[in-house]
A and B are shown apart, each in its own frame.
Chain A
Amino acid sequence: MNPPIVELPWLPTPPEDFVQRCQALASGSASPGLEAASLAAFRLSAQQSLLLGRAIRRCRTAGADLSPLSGFRLGVLASTTFDLVTDCIPAAAARHGVSVEIVSAPYDQVMQQALDPTSDINRGRLDAVLVAVDHRWLNLDHADLASGGLERVQSALAKLQAVVQNLRSHGNAAAILQTVPAPPQTLFGSYDRRVPGSVRAMVDDINRGIISLANETGSYVLDAAALAERIGTDLWFDPVHWVSYKLPFSAECFPVYADMLGRLLGAIRGKARKCLVLDLDNTVWGGVIGDDGLEGIVVGQGGPRGEAFLSVQQCALELRQRGVILAVSSKNDDAVARRPFREHPDMLLREDHFAVFQANWIDKPANLQAIAKALNIGVDALVVLDDNPAERAQIRAALPMVAVPELPNDPSRYAWYLTAAGYFEAVAYSTEDAARADSYKADARRTEVMATTRDLGDYLKSLEMKIRFAPFDAKSRQRITQLINKTNQFNLTTRRYTEADVAAMEVDDAVFTLQVRLEDKFGDLGMIGVVICRAAGDTWEIDTWLMSCRVLGRRVEETVLAHLIPAAREHGITRLLGTYLPTAKNALVSDHYAKLGFTPIEDTPAARRFELAVEAYKATELPFEVESV
């Protein structure tokens, strides 16, 4: 059996002084966001989660800056007594990079709150609303053999659809729908699945319907059914607490449910991890390559230990195929560490799979910083798989934002720990994601070219860049939303929008939208920029201008402006108004508009504003082939 997921076994045990640290956080900390994230990274019980959640709330109430956590306003619409679950959510969200503020509807007011335009939920300016209903609220808690259940399922879906649509139209909030766990009782036994109208058959049907509804409405999905299934529905459901308190499921499951929701909020905010860093000896193969040699290490079919390490490699490889970047950090001589990847016939992982390979004798935290720097990502995007508890502790102490799962002794369980922790949660998946691991490797090669070319202009020309401009469209909507929500550095205003907001902009005549894609001779970089302009008279206010940091120093921003100018003229616009709203992460672009020739018109700590008369723009030659839709 696997370890019980309800105990969050990949997280380290909280320190003795956990309660004191929560109190210290509540009464004022130098970097409250970082301290909250560090405290959240432990294996917290429901009570400990509540204490930390309260401390975070006090920080927020006191007006503290909780960065690097991203803010999120979450509504909770529950058909059951949800208070104890809600208590666990802020700590779990902090674990995944989010500072969540919760607006809860009273018990069992789901429909009323959704339909009433003036309800707390609809007036809460919420980023998303968790619709926490189960088979009971959906009227699927008893069999409907007479009529076969079809109408029952359809009317349940219609209820959900009404909730989703009203949340959108009254509160402009996205819904988080959850799948429905099937209660364990059977009526016929194994035959239940074959009887239309049995609870099991109806729950199967509604779960398919919920996924379709989410796809159609741009809602998020929390797969509660999958969580209940892996926990076991006999443990998930608690009939005593249901009749006594109307608790939605067993109290033991509250922290892990909250963690799963936290992952989803993190993914919505672009906080999911991006890169898996592997230790080598006794993590991807058995033994120590420097001591045991190529013949001595254990990996491959034919024995339990060799197959166990193979399963770790298989897991890493599958993650890479969906876009997770792989890197190596190992205490080894470089040439020695590379040998198994080059010469061992049973290795699944090859050198080619890694974007960065750090095998040396420098301490691991320094290596991890180097990896993050080479990939141009934050250390908070790294997950480190390392069998050595001392190394794990050292990394956590030096770099608390790096995720380092605990590991058991047996390597056959490593992949379970790595995946159960939910570091790489996603709310969308595109072909660009799949290509990301390769594209980061191409970045490394571009850097090599840079080193052999002396002149920047020559370098840029040698890249043979093709830039493509297009307005927002349905097929790019997910990627646009992803960029809007996860871009922190090259982001002038850091305004976040949901997929539905983006869809609305596609058809809004007062909004000019731009998606920017870039390709060079090393490969397709995909979508690398988003611009949103809002018309006000003869002025375009640049609401959003963000770009991927990977294209810094390539004059992309100048090319974007060169594209905006004629577009503005076509729309009868004579003036562009640019705003820079400073955050902890976007100092990089504080002079963005000044560099582009805009004139400063306002400069306060909260905002800097610039303007550019369309007629005053001077065109220059830029190293791009431009394609415009």
Chain B
Amino acid sequence: MTRSEILKKIRDNLAIAVDDPALQISEATTSDDVEEWDSVNHMKLIIALESELGIRFEPDEITSLADVKGLVDLIEQKL
């Protein structure tokens, strides 16, 4: 899976979590840039990515992932 494909997966699932179908993000986006990207919606995003991609994040990794680039990096390693 390429970085841009991973980015699309993140976008699609984040769009559902924050209930904004038109959401646009790039690797530079962080949770500060998306108003509804709070801790509960972050959890929803992580769980959705785990089940869709068949991967698991470690507890330590999860808390520090509120930026898109970090998330893409981590998923790339896990796939």
Q: Residues of A at under 8 Å CB distance from B?
A: 23, 45-47, 50-51, 54, 81, 83-84, 87, 240-241, 243-245, 247, 251-252
Contact = CB atoms under 8 A, between A and B. Distances in A.
Interface in B5-35: 13, 16, 19, 21
B68 interface: no
Secondary structure dominating the interface of A? helix
B73 interface: no
A243 B47 contact: no
B62 to A, nearest CB: 5
Given A244-B62, A245-B43, A252 B16 contact: no
B44 A84 contact: yes
B48 interface: yes
A46 B56 contact: no
A251 B16 contact: no
Contacts of A245: 43, 47
A243 B58 CA distance: 10
A83 B19 contact: no
A47 B48 CA distance: 7
B63 to A, nearest CB: 8
A247 B46 CA distance: 13
A545 to B, nearest CB: 44
Given A51-B16, A240-B56, A252 B44 contact: no
B51 interface: yes
Contacts of B74: none
A247 B59 CA distance: 13
A251 B50 contact: yes
A81 B43 contact: yes
A84 B47 contact: yes
Given A45-B51, A83-B44, 12 more contacts: A23-B21, A51-B16, A81-B40, A81-B43, A84-B44, A241-B47, A244-B59, A244-B63, A245-B43, A251-B47, A251-B50, A251-B51
B35 to A, nearest CB: 17
Nearest to A254: B47
Contacts of B56: 240
B48 A240 contact: no
20 contacts: A45-B51, A46-B48, A47-B13, A47-B16, A47-B48, A47-B52, A51-B16, A54-B19, A81-B43, A83-B40, A83-B44, A84-B47, A240-B59, A241-B47, A243-B59, A244-B62, A244-B63, A245-B43, A245-B47, A247-B47
Contacts of B40: 81, 83
Nearest to A87: B44
A324 to B, nearest CB: 35
Interface of B: 13, 16, 19, 21, 40, 43-44, 47-48, 50-52, 56, 58-59, 62-63
B73 to A, nearest CB: 19
Contacts of B51: 45-46, 251-252
Interface centre among B16, B19, B63 (most CB of A within 10 A): B16
A50 B16 contact: yes
Contacts of A50: 16
Nearest to B60: A244
Contacts of A240: 56, 58-59
Nearest to A54: B19
A241 B46 CA distance: 11
A243 B61 CA distance: 13
A247 B56 CA distance: 15
A87 B56 CA distance: 21
Contacts of B21: 23
A51 B21 CA distance: 10
A244 B40 CA distance: 12
A83 B39 CA distance: 12
Nearest to B42: A245
Nearest to A245: B43
A84 B17 CA distance: 10
A45 B21 CA distance: 18
A23 B47 CA distance: 23
A254 to B, nearest CB: 9
B71 to A, nearest CB: 15
A252 B56 CA distance: 13
Contacts of B13: 47
A81 B43 CA distance: 10
Contacts of B47: 46, 84, 241, 245, 247, 251
Q: List 10 tightest A-B contacts by C-beta distance, closest first.
A: A244-B59, A251-B47, A245-B43, A244-B62, A47-B16, A83-B40, A243-B59, A47-B48, A251-B51, A240-B59
A55 to B, nearest CB: 11
A81 B40 CA distance: 9
B23 to A, nearest CB: 14
A240 B58 CA distance: 8
A99 B44 CA distance: 24
